Amino acid sequence: MRCPYCRHADSRVVDSREAEDGQLIRRRRSCPECGKRFTTVEEAVLAIVKRNGVTEPFSRTKVMSGVRKACQGRPVDEDSIALLAQKVEETIRAKGAAEVPSHDVGLAILTPLRELDQVAYLRFASVYKSFDSLDEFEREITELREAATAREAAARHVVSPRPGNRPPKITTPEKA
> What is the sign, positive or negative, of the torsion defined by CA atoms of 81, 84, 90, 92?
negative
Q: Are residues 51 and 39 in the same domain?
A: no
Q: Are residues 56 and 79 in the same domain?
A: yes
Q: Are residues 92 and 55 in the same domain?
A: yes
Q: Are residues 59 and 125 in the same domain?
A: yes
Q: Are residues 18 and 54 in the same domain?
A: no
Residues β-bridged to residue 43:
24
Cα separation values, 141 from 123, 138, 146, 148, Å: 11, 5, 9, 10
Q: Has residue 155 been placed in a domain?
A: no
The CA-based angle 63-48-88, given to 5 degrees, is: 40
pLDDT recorded at residue 172: 63
Q: Are residues 57 and 125 in the same domain?
A: yes
What pLDDT band is residue 155 in, cutting at 50, 70 and 90?
confident
Distance (Å, rounded) from C-alpha 120 to C-alpha 105?
Answer: 17
Q: Are residues 35 and 52 in the same domain?
A: no
pTM recorded for the entire structure? 0.64
Each residue of 27-83: pLDDT tens digit?
999 999 999 999 999 887 889 999 999 999 999 999 999 999 999 999 999 999 999
Q: Are residues 37 and 88 in the same domain?
A: no
Residues β-bridged to residue 49:
55, 101
pLDDT over 90, % of the chain: 64
69: left (phi over 0), alpha (psi -120 to 50) or beta: alpha
Q: What is the domain extent for residue 24? A: 12-43
Closest CA to 73 of 127, 117, 138: 117
Query: How many structural domains does the chain have?
Result: 2
Q: Has residue 36 been placed in a domain?
A: yes
Residues β-bridged to residue 39:
28
Q: What spatial distance separates the first Cα and last Cα of the chain, rounded to whole Å?
A: 86
> Between 20 and 101, whose confidence is greater?
101
Q: Has residue 153 been placed in a domain?
A: no
